[in-house]
Amino acid sequence: MSAEKTHNRWLIAIMGTLLQMCLGTVYAWSYFQKPLVEGYGWSNAAVAGAFSTAICFLGLAAAWGGINLAKYGPTKLAMGGGALFGIGYLIGAYALNVQSIILLYIGYGVIGGSGLGLGYVTPVATCAKWFPDKKGFITGMVVMGFGLGALLMSLVFAPRLMAYTGGSVMQVFGYLGVIFLVLTVPIGSFMKNPPAGYVPEGYTPPPAPVSSTGKAMEEIIHPTMTYIMSKKFIIMWLIFFCNITAGIAIIGFQSPLLQDLYINSDPTYTVVKELRAVATPSAEQKATLDGLVKALAGFGATLIAITSLFNGLGRFFWGGLSDKIGRVQAFRLLVGTQILVFVALAYVGNPWLFGLLFCYILLCYGGGFGTMPSFVLDVYGPKMMSTVYGIILTAWSAAGIVGPQFAGIIKDKFPAQASLYTFWAGAGVLTVGLILTFLIGNEKFDAGHKESEEPAKA
């Protein structure tokens, strides 16, 4: 193993992390949720639909990309994903200009979301191949970039562009489209597979697992359906789905939820309700309302920034921890502890405690993404990693539809009880996920063995 190749694999990992940071800005959608609802007169559920569509197509495109990664190569998929992501923002800007929410779904959701999926799965699968000696660490590091993307958006891009454009979300989307085209396409060109038979210096790969037929698993070629129809895959998919659904239901609404909490609990901001109810406010009242709304938006942006940091750190922390305690044990811990936090969030009236608990939710939300790539790699091996991991990301698609839409409908139908219902529902979903973790173990998948005869081991 040459020094040059050792250097190159870290360069690829760094570029993969940077690409993920650009794509992860999608998690700052909460920053635009309230301005779009108030500026265009669309409902919370309708606006959240754009985010849901993007996450849905992220998972679908990631599944397609994982299956076709070997065919097209990581460079083409990463560059193509970055281009689609930027184009999605540009079409979204035009959609806002003509006030068409359907076109926003198509541009930002379908096209931009497809770019997200292609750009997401490629560096994760590629970097995992370069680092068989640091699987949990490196996949955690790469997907940490995706979690930190919202920090980049909420503290750097969005506030500066909103100030520069006078609060025009339409213009902000246009600028973001250009910025991401310029950044992601060149970064994507760094994504390359390691040479055949690559082994890092000083690393001794473990012997290939042997199937019940007596042949090494890597010597056996199985149809993809053999893997994805297995009990093990289905349970892994469902655990992933439960963890994502609970988190993503509130990620897109964290800023509005915090602002509502301030309005309902802080005497300084309770006047916002009264001022909004005034039919023809005076100049002084309007100035007061504008100042309070701006302050509340600042609180929301700060929460997005801080929680995105925990989202990113969670991917790194839980991925590394799972190397030590096991993948299933990591999922049990991160899912189980969240149940208690979701129940607590349903009754919290202090904005500071709300923010602290929200940070833990994002730590665990990111942890699922940091742990699952290594789990798939352990169970299915490097040859099937990109395919199986890509397909398992369809759980993200399903959760992207269920979570935000449920939260949006609850907020529209029951605004006074939205937080209570949403957090209790999240706790219920996580309880299902926790139960499922006891039906699966860390053992490798054996396509030649009937799973119904194999007890779940941890």
CA pair distance 5, 11, nearest whole angstrom: 10
More confident residue, 256 or 51: 51
Residue 42 to residue 37: CA distance in whole angstroms: 5
**Which percentage of the chain shows pLDDT scores above 90?**
41
Q: pLDDT digits over 157-178, tens only?
A: 888 998 899 889 999 999 999 9
pLDDT number for residue 3: 40
pLDDT for 265: 75
Average pLDDT, the chain: 85
pLDDT at 206: 66
**Mean pLDDT computed over 331-342:** 96
Using the predicted structure, report yes or no on whether residue 321 has a pLDDT greater than 50: yes
Average pLDDT over residues 411-428: 85
Q: Of 108, 75, 276, 107, nearest to 189 (Cα)? A: 75
Range of weakest confidence among 211-215, 369-373, 399-403: 211-215
Residue range 289-303: mean pLDDT, rounded: 83
User: Which residue reads 């990664």 in tokens?
Assistant: 69
> In terms of CATH, what superfamily is 3-194+222-450?
MFS general substrate transporter like domains (1.20.1250.20)
The residue type found at 382 is: P
pLDDT in tens, 56-98: 999 899 889 988 988 999 999 999 999 999 999 999 999 999 9
How much is the pLDDT for 446?
Answer: 52
CA distance 448 to 446: 5
In Å, what is the CA distance from 152 to each residue of 18, 148, 288? Answer: 11, 7, 30
pLDDT in tens, 191-223: 998 888 788 877 776 665 555 555 554 444 455
C-alpha of 276 from chain center: 34
Best CA proximity match to 394, nearest among 227, 234, 222, 251: 234
The sign of the CA dihedral 80, 61, 133, 148 is positive
* Confidence at residue 210, expressed as pLDDT on a 0 to 100 scale: 54
How far is the C-alpha of 48 from the C-alpha of 52, rounded, in Å? 6
Burial pattern 268-280, b for ≥16 Cβ within 10 A else e, equals ebeebeeeeeeee
Residue 348 Rama label (left phi>0; alpha psi -120 to 50; beta): beta
pLDDT band at 399 (very low <50, low <70, confident <90, very high): very high
